[in-house]
Amino acid sequence: MIDLLPIPALLTPQQCVHWCDALDDATAAPAAVLDPAYGGRVAPQIRRVARLQPPAALQSQAMQLLGALQPQLQAYFGQALGRCEPAQFLRYEVGDFFVAHQDGNTPLLRDASLSRRVSLVLLLNDASLTAQEGCYGGGELVFHPHYSSAAAPSRHTPAAGSLLAFRAETTHEVLPVTHGRRYSIAGWFHAAEPA
Ligand SMILES: O=C(O)CCC(=O)C(=O)O
Ligand SMILES: [Fe+2]
């Protein structure tokens, strides 16, 4: 079974609209794969999405919001958690996606992602089947069970302002966006430093 913790209504609909508006003025650059210290590079066949440079106030608000979840996440995932990595503000345009991947805690990859323990994805706008102002189509967040499990992948389109937390080693992907723009924030809690 996939260990998924949904946290609804972390942001109000008004905050979501305000954050998306602020992000439309932000500098955007193609998001990289892998840790920059280990040759982080843009690989659009793997991850095609713009990483936005939010205003400093928004970045720190997001970090406060995510940081406050630490006790709840520690209790749910049964892991001692340390720092939360700077959140990535992401915008998926039509055709953008992120192939199935794990965010960290995968022992064969010995970069900074090794100590990631819990991944967080916060959606800033809603999905809709038809094109609607401010909404996107496609872009489902899909979780894949362990290969030894017969369970089917699960697809999620969290409501604007709500978050999904999962173990960093869980395989997940973002399906291509089919209309509109999808805004999300990704963050990661690392293992607590040994005392
Ligand atoms: O944007 C999302 O929903 C998830 C992004 C993601 O999986 C990642 O950045 O590692
Ligand atoms: Fe991810």
The interface pTM score, or ipTM, of the predicted complex is 0.99
Residue nearest to atom 5 of ligand 1 (CA): 186
Residue nearest to atom 1 of ligand 1 (CA): 184
Burial 95-128, CB ≥16 within 10 A → b, else e: ebbbeebbbbbbeeeeebbbbbbbbbbbbbbbbe
Closest ligand 1 atom to residue 90 Cα is 1
Residues listed for the chain: 195
Position 194 scores a pLDDT of 80
Q: Which of 20, 85, 90, 167 to mutate to test the pocket of ligand 1 (most atoms within 8 A of CB)?
A: 90
90 lines ligand 1 (CB under 6 A): yes
Let me know: does 190 contact 118? Beta carbons within 8 Å.
no
The structure's pTM equals: 0.96
pLDDT in tens, 169-193: 999 999 999 999 999 999 999 999 8
Closest ligand 1 atom to residue 182 Cα is 1
Question: How many other CB atoms are there within 10 angstroms of residue 165's CB atom?
Answer: 22
Position 189 scores a pLDDT of 98
Per-residue pLDDT band for 1 (boundaries 50, 70, 90) equals confident
Compute the distance between CA of residue 58 and CA of residue 186 in angstroms, rounded to an integer.
14
Let me know: does 110 contact 175? Beta carbons within 8 Å.
no
Closest ligand 1 atom to residue 88 Cα is 9
pLDDT at 36 over 90: no
pLDDT in tens, 48-89: 999 999 999 999 999 999 999 999 999 999 999 999 999 999
For residue 136, give the nearest of 144, 146, 145, 125 by alpha carbon.
125
Distance 116 CA to ligand 2 centre (A): 11
pLDDT in tens, 92-115: 999 999 999 999 999 887 888 899
pLDDT at 120 over 80: yes
Residue nearest to atom 6 of ligand 1 (CA): 186
Question: What is the pLDDT averaged over residues 136-160?
Answer: 95
Compute the distance between CA of residue 25 and CA of residue 123 in angstroms, rounded to an integer.
18
As a CATH number, domain 4-190 is 2.60.120.620
